[in-house]
Structure 1
Amino acid sequence: MSGSTTGIPLKSALISAACALPIALSGCVTGGGLNHQSDTYRIEIVESENASERVRFLVMHFTTIDFETSLQVLTQPSSRPVSSHYLIPEGNDPSYPHDDLRVYQLVDEHRRAWHAGTSIWEDRSQLNDHSIGIEIVNKSYCQPPPESTPGAEPEAVCFFPEFDPEQIDLVIALSRDILARYPDITPTRVVGHGDIIPHYKIDPGPKFPWQQLAEAGIGAWYEDASVQRHLEYLGGNTSSDRDAVRRRFAYWLRDYGYGIDPETASDDEISLYTRAFQYHFRPWLADGEVDDQSRAILLALLEKYFPDKLSGYQEINPEALAISK
């Protein structure tokens, strides 16, 4: 989420206590199903196998603003309305009214929240139609770029505070509940806002603990040994053609799920998607450069989650893949 507004006092009726408590989350969902009843006509239920879940993705965001303002922005009408299914506060926020952290449910999971924008992941666009969104209070922000030297492209200066550990524990508990309800949300479909729309968004940013979530069974992460194998092989088999290497990396990004078009993407666009990937999987150095480590990490992810897609990759060591099976 992004935006700013003046904070207003919380209204106690905004969210019921039941839906604010993690233990009651499953009871807050009230969508339709094969249980419709009518007093005026009879219903025969024959459940078709030709259907799928609406929800396929779980999208993580940071708010950039405090809890009180976030709650207002996500629940009240405005000229540019935005919402999410859940809002997770952080500790030591003066605008938060409780002593304990609670999950705030703002939109029924069966309804479409407005959190993902014009987004793409895998073969789906407009991910609002296919996802559940979690907004996490975190006051990261970016400043306008400073004056630059002639001919240089200025970049914004961004500040990313650490996430509250108790807050992340709550994100993990909520996400586990969501994944249990929606088996179509596979590990690679737990994504950040910046993954699905990197032209405009970077959240949840490089301080978000994706590895910790993956270790808790939420989302994707790579195996270090696999990265090392690919890194060693790339070190001895790397093309000197920078443009060709970057273009092939764009194909790998698409194969993983990113919405890049490898054939038409500009060099700047490849850098943009590469940085989005690095924010998620190599947050200690998100520079947009297609270096061997970034390539090895992406190959390790593809090997783990999409092994069938690797057969046409000339950078793959067949012997290494055989060892990993």
Structure 2
Amino acid sequence: MRFALLALTALLLAACTGGQVIDDSFSSRSQSSRVQYIVVHYTSTDLAHSLALLTQGEVSSHYLIGDSPATVYRLVDESRRAWHAGDSAWQGRTWLNASTIGIELVNQGYEQGPHAAAWQPYSEAQIEALITLLKDLVKRHELPIDSIIGHSDIAPQRKVDPGPLFPWQRLAEAGLIRWPDSAAVAREQARFAVALPDVRWFQQQLQQLGYSTPQSGELDKATRNVLAALQMKYRPARYDGEPDAQSAAILQVLNQKP
């Protein structure tokens, strides 16, 4: 009986591997999850259109979180690659589809008005559902703090999602990302108000934090876009990409080793 069971097991293994028997009785201790980061997006459209785009179109994400109700849809298995990041870079790694989990939140993004953009807020239920999902993903994939980033972080030259109304500080309060200490920022801001660093310093600090940033010493459009992405995340009241004392202070505090 035991021999028959072993033979049946071998046959099933062979059927699953194209005829070759694979022995799974050993497992290496030197391994980790393929997932290095989790990327947060907004969909720029409503739920029905979001589901159509992410299941029938050329883009996809692992998860989609609706707005009313805040249903969490799993669209791609975490073991497989979803097409959500595109041309992207973070902390020296590029083309991040292969090493990330993508989460889309149903949100219209913004409408451009005559004087300013009007952004759609996220619902409280959406953010609660997101934080619950993130905590589970971080635990299962054994991700370190600061592994959760926005689409605008990894592609600042072409993307602004999840936008200035996304509550990054709520994620920090949940222990998912670091947040610059306000007292430390105030101290550094007072110092930088006396003497603002040059553009090359900003470029170096942005690159150290993880952003793909020109290192030219010139305040070009690409550098402004990267600085605006940082500002939108940590100082959403003003994200014009202009170097200033508060942005310098935020960078300085975030880049200080604990």
Same fold per TM (> 0.5)?
yes
Task: Say how many residue pairs are matched.
Answer: 242
1:38 matched to which residue of 2?
13
DSSP-derived class of the 1:188 partner: coil
Q: RMSD over aligned Cα, in angstroms?
A: 2.1
- 1:155-207 CA-to-partner distances (Å, cap 9, x unmatched) read x95321111011110011011111011123x3322111011101111000000
2:33 matched to which residue of 1?
53
2:76 matched to which residue of 1?
107
1:129 matched to which residue of 2?
98
In 1, Cα distance between equivalents of 2:237 and 2:219: 25
8 Å CA contact 1:87, 1:135 repeated in 2:
yes
2:48 matched to which residue of 1?
68
In 1, Cα distance between equivalents of 2:47 and 2:213: 34
In 2, Cα distance between equivalents of 1:266 and 1:46: 55
8 Å CA contact 1:140, 1:158 repeated in 2:
no
1:256 matched to which residue of 2?
209
Task: Name which of 141, 148, 168 aligns with 1:210.
Answer: 168
In 2, Cα distance between equivalents of 1:104 and 1:70: 11
Letter in 2 for 1:122: Q
Task: Name which of 289, 292, 316 aligns with 2:242.
Answer: 289
How far did residue 45 of structure 1 move?
4.3
2:190 matched to which residue of 1?
232
Letter in 1 for 2:61: S
Letter in 1 for 2:161: D
1:223 matched to which residue of 2?
181
List structure 1 runs of 4+ shifted beyond 4 angstroms: none
Letter in 1 for 2:42: F
8 Å CA contact 2:156, 2:229 repeated in 1:
yes
- 1:275-315 CA-to-partner distances (Å, cap 9, x unmatched) read 01111111111111110001101111112xxx2xxxxxxxx
Task: Name which of 188, 199, 207 aligns with 1:246.
Answer: 199
1:1-325 alignment, distance < 5 Å: 38-39=13-14, 41=21, 43=23, 45-76=25-56, 78=57, 81-91=58-68, 100-143=69-112, 157-184=116-143, 186-236=144-194, 238-239=195-196, 245-263=198-216, 267-303=220-256, 307=257
Letter in 2 for 1:197: A
In structure 2, stretches of 5+ residues that fail to align are: 1-11, 15-19
In 2, Cα distance between equivalents of 1:187 and 1:299: 18
DSSP-derived class of the 1:176 partner: helix
DSSP-derived class of the 1:115 partner: coil
**Taking every aligned residue pair, what percent have the same amino acid on both sides?**
40
In 1, Cα distance between equivalents of 2:190 and 2:180: 16
Question: TM-score by structure 2 length?
Answer: 0.87
Question: TM-score by structure 1 length?
Answer: 0.70
In 2, Cα distance between equivalents of 1:278 and 1:263: 20
DSSP-derived class of the 2:104 partner: strand
8 Å CA contact 2:190, 2:245 repeated in 1:
no
In 2, Cα distance between equivalents of 1:47 and 1:276: 42
How far did residue 225 of structure 1 move?
1.5
